[in-house]
Each structure stands twice: as structure tokens, then as C-alpha cells.
Amino acid sequence: MPRKKTSPRPDQNSASGAPFENSLPDITAGFRRGFQAALRGWFETAQRDLPWRRTRDPYAIVVSELMLQQTQVSKVIPFFEGFMAAFPTLESLAESSEEEVLRHWSGLGYYRRAHYLLALAREVANSHQGRFPRDRKQLLSLPGIGEYTAGAILSIAFDIPSALVDGNVERVLARVFCCQEDLSTAHGKAVIWKIADHLVPESGAGTFNQALMELGATLCLPQNPSCPACPIRAYCQAFQQGNSASFPVKTRSSRKVHLEEPVPD
């Protein structure tokens, strides 16, 4: 039975005129299995204990993902715990006033995220019987939900095979495959998303995605990556060629950043 593909699949050509598919590396079944196993084994013992990783509640996952946009983990943790104590369920948030929500968000900054979160809670409560959709298209129609957050909900909450790409994942995959595409372009980002989609497992998608982000946040750093300690160095072309610093290729930086630290290149 073919794998269900849930991440974006643009069919545009590259700037050079080459077909989109020609930009993708050849990923064999054996490579996928080995890559997944190495990453999963490392993550089981090396992962940080973060409060949003202790649950598969889609509501808690959405709260954490919105808070982590452009805000570091160390700052998010106390705000996440306080917010979840004040609004433990989606329904409790949906029934709250904007003033109350903003009061609990105060100090975290980027207040548009709080407005999105309240609007999202109300829409899910009123239009979806309080349940998050398991369909990417429906998730993307909700306030504040983009491709990244939709992938987080699908994979982490529902274990639906779905790619999840932030700046950390971009960097890891660009190095693993020595991706020459400019990741500051729409085409380059689409290539990385499709590579990630090919790698995500049928089962345990959420754990795999979180492990990939954790690797980028803790070992596969923008500068001075800890390559000797990397669990997937045997699969990494940049490590084997000794040119990790050359990837990812970017001519300009992206504005929106998801931070489980450190993201920027």
C-alpha cells in the first residue's frame, strides 16, 4: 500500500529549468530504515525533558508551537506551564475573554500569537465539536495554523505520517544530502519538505520529527556542529566530505522562525 503523503508537493520547476523531482536525492528503503533507527535510538536517551513532549494532546501541542515561534525554549517553558494551568483545555480557552488570555501571555511578546490562539480555540470548539481535524487542509484553514504547525498536530498528536520542517530540520537535511538548493527560496524549501516527507516513518512520525528537530537544536548547530557525536554521521554527506559549514545554502534569511534553539543560519 503506498505511503500517504501529507506535506506540500509543489510541481514547479527549479530556476535552472530542471524538473522539480530532479532536485531530490535518491532515498532507498535501506537508507530510510537505518537513518530512522539511528535517530530514534539517540533521541530516546538524549532528548531534553520539555513539558510539551509529555503529551499528545493537540491543544497543548498547538499552544507550545505558537509560543515557540521566535521565542527561545528557556523563556517558553514557564509561560507554557502557566498558560496550561490557567487554560487546561481547549474549551476553557475558548470560553475566556481576550483580556484574560493576553494577561497570561503578557511578557512573552508577539501578541498576535495569543489572538490567533484564542480565535483558533473558538473555531475548533464551535465548528469542529472541540476536536482538531485530522486533515491537513482543514487544519490549514484554522487561524494561526501554517504548514509547520499542521505537521506538528498530525504527526505528534495523531501519529499521521507528515513532514515537519523548521530551521533546524532544514539545516540537518541540507547537510545530510549536501542540498545545493537555495533554502531561502520557495523552491529550495519545497525540496527540503519533500525530502523530509520521504524520510518520515509510517509509525512514530511524531517522535521522528521531534528527534530531527532536537538534533538540529543540540548537535547540528549553525556554527561548530558536534559532528563526532552525531548519531546519523554515517548517513551525512557533508560530514563525510568535511564541508558541513557550506550547508544550508541561503542567500537571505527567513523572517518566521520556530525556536527549539538554535535555528538561525
Catalytic residue among 65, 147, 170, 181: 65
CATH code of residue 118 = 1.10.340.30
Nearest alpha carbon to residue 149 among 158, 141, 139: 139
**Alpha carbon separation from 180 to 159, 177, 235, 261 (Å, rounded):** 31, 9, 17, 24
User: Which residue segment(s) compose the domain that 202 sits in?
Assistant: 29-46+162-246
The pLDDT tens digits of the residues spanning 175-209 come to 999 999 999 999 999 999 999 999 999 999 999 99
Residue 65 falls in the annotated catalytic set: yes
42 and 170 fall within a common domain: yes
Distance from C-alpha of 213 to C-alpha of 208, rounded to nearest angstrom: 9
Which of 157, 177, 206 is the last residue before a domain boundary?
Answer: 157
Domain total of the chain: 2
* Confidence (pTM): 0.85
Residue 159 pLDDT exceeds 50: yes
184 and 209 fall within a common domain: yes
Q: How confident is the model at residue 2 (pLDDT cuts 50, 70, 90)?
A: very low
77 and 146 fall within a common domain: yes
209 and 120 fall within a common domain: no
42 and 57 fall within a common domain: no
Q: How confident is the model at residue 19 (pLDDT cuts 50, 70, 90)?
A: very low
113 and 239 fall within a common domain: no
DSSP 110-153: -THHHHHHHHHHHHHHHHSTT---SSHHHHHTSTT--HHHHHHI
58 and 150 fall within a common domain: yes
Please give the single-letter amino acid code of residue 147. E
Which of 157, 175, 207 is the last residue before a domain boundary?
Answer: 157
pLDDT at 253: 62
